[in-house]
Chain A
């Protein structure tokens, strides 16, 4: 199995996808089938394939995408908290309330119930935690898809074939044993 370090490409892809997803306007691109998440997975796969000395399997791409998505979710959560706390007059609860408002045909009683929930501080945090957990699940699925797509696109070597040329044979240094004595061929 390929044991190249996965952390560096996953960190690069994850940080990028987390920041881009947390930004107010740019993050809306995630509405197109989680474009940033798939993009982060593809980027991580590209970096990993580029640095890997052995062919990368699709399964490795899935694992890499999963790691990228987890890092991306952490970065997204870390970035979204200050953005919504100190952003232009919109708290986390406000943001969630706005998300609920955007959903079509929500019955008034459900809307009222959600607004009552979100107006309480503790429950607002609970809703935020639920939101982050569901983000983790969605990011993980699309991150794995991105990792697999990235490996399929950028890996040109056949799995199982060594990509690095083996070093040329060098005889052991030091004194060589004497050659065997000439034996006349038996007739």
Chain B
């Protein structure tokens, strides 16, 4: 069962790392596509990310005058998620207290920065927005790897697969 958990952890890490990697690629692809006159493709990418980000140009990084597909904070989150998926998650799996501290450490800075900006306490600097997002992503990503590994281990289809004799030996 130990081997099985290890392999599903690696699988989850690979899947989540790929997803965050693709999203990071798309974020940078949008301005590059526009730069090379692939404007319709760029619009599709911008439209996709418009559901989850305000995309205000003043609050987004630029490449040669073209904004990235998401704002400073979201760019930090996606890059952080990608980087964080490469980190280990043994402590998170075993220690409940560390897990909670990790979540609080990730959520507190980004929430303070966002709420302060919303209520007009401060305007916020691009780099602070980016780094609070990056911190959130790096700290939350190992938790997600752990959570998705457990989800895959507990999922009902796994029970069904385990009943098939040829898979029984492979998984255990």
A residues with CB within 8 A of B: 1, 30-34, 57-63, 99-100, 102-107, 109-110, 134-135, 138, 142, 144-145, 147-149, 151-153, 155-158
What are 29 A-B pairs at a CB distance below 8 A? A31-B52, A32-B54, A32-B114, A57-B150, A57-B154, A58-B143, A59-B151, A59-B154, A60-B154, A62-B150, A62-B151, A99-B47, A102-B55, A103-B43, A103-B50, A103-B55, A104-B46, A105-B34, A105-B43, A105-B46, A106-B46, A110-B43, A135-B51, A147-B147, A149-B103, A152-B100, A153-B103, A153-B104, A156-B96
Whether, in the assembled complex, B149 has its beta carbon less than 8 Å from a beta carbon of chain A, the answer is: yes
* Complex Cα–Cα for A148 and B143 (A): 8
A3 CB to nearest B CB, Å: 11
Contact between chains at A105 and B42 (CB < 8 Å): yes
Whether, in the assembled complex, B112 has its beta carbon less than 8 Å from a beta carbon of chain A, the answer is: no
In the complex, besides A58-B143, A99-B50, 9 extra interface pairs with C-beta distance below 8 angstroms are A59-B150, A59-B153, A61-B147, A105-B42, A105-B43, A107-B39, A110-B40, A142-B52, A149-B107
- Contact residue range for chain B? 35 or more
Residues on B with C-beta less than 8 A from A60 are 150-151, 154
B residues with CB within 8 A of A: 34, 39-40, 42-43, 46-48, 50-55, 57, 66-67, 73-74, 77, 96, 99-100, 102-104, 107, 114, 140, 143-144, 146-155
* Complex Cα–Cα for A48 and B140 (A): 21
Q: Which of B57, B66, B67, B150 has the most CB of A within 10 A?
A: B150
Looking at chain A's contact residues, the main secondary structure is: helix
* Complex Cα–Cα for A138 and B50 (A): 11
* Complex Cα–Cα for A134 and B151 (A): 23
Contact between chains at A59 and B152 (CB < 8 Å): yes
Residues on B with C-beta less than 8 A from A138 are 51-52
| In the complex with contacts A58-B146, A157-B96, A34-B52 CB distance below 8 A | yes
| In the complex with contacts A33-B74, A57-B154, A152-B40 CB distance below 8 A | no
* Complex Cα–Cα for A61 and B10 (A): 20
* Complex Cα–Cα for A106 and B42 (A): 8
B110 CB to nearest A CB, Å: 9
| In the complex with contacts A58-B146, A138-B51, A107-B40 CB distance below 8 A | yes
